[in-house]
Structure 1
Amino acid sequence: MTDNTTRLDHVVLWVSDPAASAAFYEKTLGMLPVRLTDFIAGEAPFPSVRVNEETILDLMPMTMAERMKMLPDAARSAGHPVNHVCLSLPEADFHGLRSHLEEQDVPVSEYSYDSFGARGKARRSFYFRDPDGNIFEARHYD
């Protein structure tokens, strides 16, 4: 799995209101909704938002927890968000995101420096939460 062909396809986040979450990600992060219209029409079980051309965040309603039967006790993951999801951005976009989050009254953490990630040490990073409490880290390596 170190041949550089493995890519992150999606992350599933448990959310209370998928449409409201999609609106948050679009408004604050510029992530375009995927299947939102289908979800609202009852034709898709959940919407997603596009991180980039290869990666999406699935916005899974907590009400679907009882359907999670792929592994024993998988349903118990509902309401327990992942520790955090990290978004890597170019430096200008990193600063733009922080400013935009602050304009939208989304609380952000202090900066962290030289934290380790997929590409080595990031110069700076900060954290914020979505409306369901999922934690995101934004960082830049430049």
Structure 2
Amino acid sequence: MSDHTARLDHVVLWVNDPVASAEFYERTLGTEPVRLAEYTEGKVPFPSVRLNEETIIDLMPWTMAARMTMLPGAADSAGHPVNHICVALSGAAFDDLLGRLRGSTVPVSEISHGSFGARGPAARSFYFRDPDGNVFEARHYD
């Protein structure tokens, strides 16, 4: 596989409660909060969670929708989530996440085998929702 220089920097999700969302992602995916204290102190407009050293997920409160004026119609994106976000994990991290979710009130889909992704067919994958209805896929490759 070629080593491309482009990387996914961040994804922005619309959420009702950024603090609760940050706690959810920390508890389930093991993410690290970024700017959470600054958000709760009113110093920044939204917090994020760190997925890995190169990628964060911004937790944008729905109340910010009217301020999304960088492009005509950008504010209309509130309430129109992406289909899903896929997180690739190691086999052990996949099993840990699945166990944490099954031990909580978060419903998970059946396990799929061989679904195609950035690195080809995945050994296993499943889907789950965050508290705001955003859909995540977790997968691991052999």
Normalising by structure 2, what TM-score? Answer: 0.96
Shift of the alpha carbon at 1:113?
A: 1.4
- Structure 2 counterpart SS, 1:4: coil
**Paired residue type of 1:18:** P
**Paired residue type of 1:98:** L
Q: What is aligned with 1:12?
A: 12
Q: What is aligned with 2:33?
A: 33
**Paired residue type of 2:77:** S
Aligned residues: 141
Q: RMSD of the TM alignment (CA)?
A: 1.0
In structure 1, C-alpha distance between the alignment counterparts of 2:32 and 2:120, rounded to whole Å: 29
In structure 2, C-alpha distance between the alignment counterparts of 1:128 and 1:8, rounded to whole Å: 21
In structure 1, C-alpha distance between the alignment counterparts of 2:29 and 2:122, rounded to whole Å: 20
In structure 2, C-alpha distance between the alignment counterparts of 1:43 and 1:92, rounded to whole Å: 37
Q: What is aligned with 2:63?
A: 63
Deviation string 1:10-38 (CA, Å, 9 cap, x unpaired) is 00000011011011111122111000000
Runs of 4+ in structure 1 off by over 2 angstroms are: none
Deviation string 1:70-116 (CA, Å, 9 cap, x unpaired) is 11111111012111000001111111110011112211000111111
Higher strand share: 1
In structure 2, C-alpha distance between the alignment counterparts of 1:69 and 1:3, rounded to whole Å: 35
Shift of the alpha carbon at 1:123?
A: 1.3
- Structure 1 counterpart SS, 2:133: coil
In structure 2, C-alpha distance between the alignment counterparts of 1:116 and 1:27, rounded to whole Å: 27
- Structure 2 counterpart SS, 1:114: coil
Identity of aligned residues (%): 69
In structure 2, C-alpha distance between the alignment counterparts of 1:13 and 1:103, rounded to whole Å: 25
In structure 2, C-alpha distance between the alignment counterparts of 1:113 and 1:62, rounded to whole Å: 35
Mapping of residues 108-119 of structure 1, within 5 Å: 108-119=108-119
Gaps of 5+ in 1: none
Q: CA contact under 8 A between 1:18 and 1:47: conserved in structure 2?
A: yes
Gaps of 5+ in 2: none
Q: What is aligned with 2:137?
A: 137
Shift of the alpha carbon at 1:3?
A: 5.8
Normalising by structure 1, what TM-score? Answer: 0.96
Mapping of residues 66-77 of structure 1, within 5 Å: 66-77=66-77
- Structure 1 counterpart SS, 2:83: coil
